[in-house]
Amino acid sequence: MQTGRGPEPAYGSLSKPLLLGLVTAIVVGIASPLVLPHLTHPSMIYHIALHIASLTIALFLSVVSVLAYLRSRTFRLLFMTFGFMALASVEFLYLLDAAAIFSVFDFSTLGIELPHVILLVMLTMFSLGVLKVNK
């Protein structure tokens, strides 16, 4: 009989709903000063709320994957962790761009934007995580 494999979290760790609530509270607390100037623009507030929700999910998945990697120490989880971190950084850049705080950095000579490069890195990390064969 296996012990410690129930719906309860391991000793000393947070449950996933509690962790999601904590990440959401931190993101909303940090992002609320960015949103306040845009409350009078309904279309803009929805756009910013979309990026806040995406950033929250990406950060939550990053934290969960870091905790999973620390438990198992496999390269597959490490690559997946880097992929989720890249997604969180892209969503943060898009949130800054949507709130008109920071314009997306553009490599004008190449005609590509920084978030697109980071998204390519994210897809590469996910691909390595999926295709990595554990021996």
pLDDT tens for residues 47-90?
888 999 999 999 999 999 999 999 999 999 999 999 999 999 99
Q: Has residue 87 been placed in a domain?
A: yes
Domain that holds residue 108: 17-131
The mean predicted confidence, pLDDT, of the chain is 84
pLDDT greater than 80 at residue 122:
yes
Q: Has residue 12 been placed in a domain?
A: no
Quote the number of domains for the chain.
1
Tokens 């979309």 belong to residue: 50
Q: Has residue 2 been placed in a domain?
A: no
* Residue 106 bridge partners (DSSP): 113
Q: Has residue 93 been placed in a domain?
A: yes
Query: What percent of the chain has pLDDT above 70?
Result: 85
Q: Has residue 122 been placed in a domain?
A: yes
Q: Has residue 126 been placed in a domain?
A: yes
Q: Has residue 29 been placed in a domain?
A: yes
* Selection from 64, 132, 39, 48 nearest residue 98 by Cα: 48
* Residue 112 bridge partners (DSSP): 107
pLDDT greater than 60 at residue 5:
no
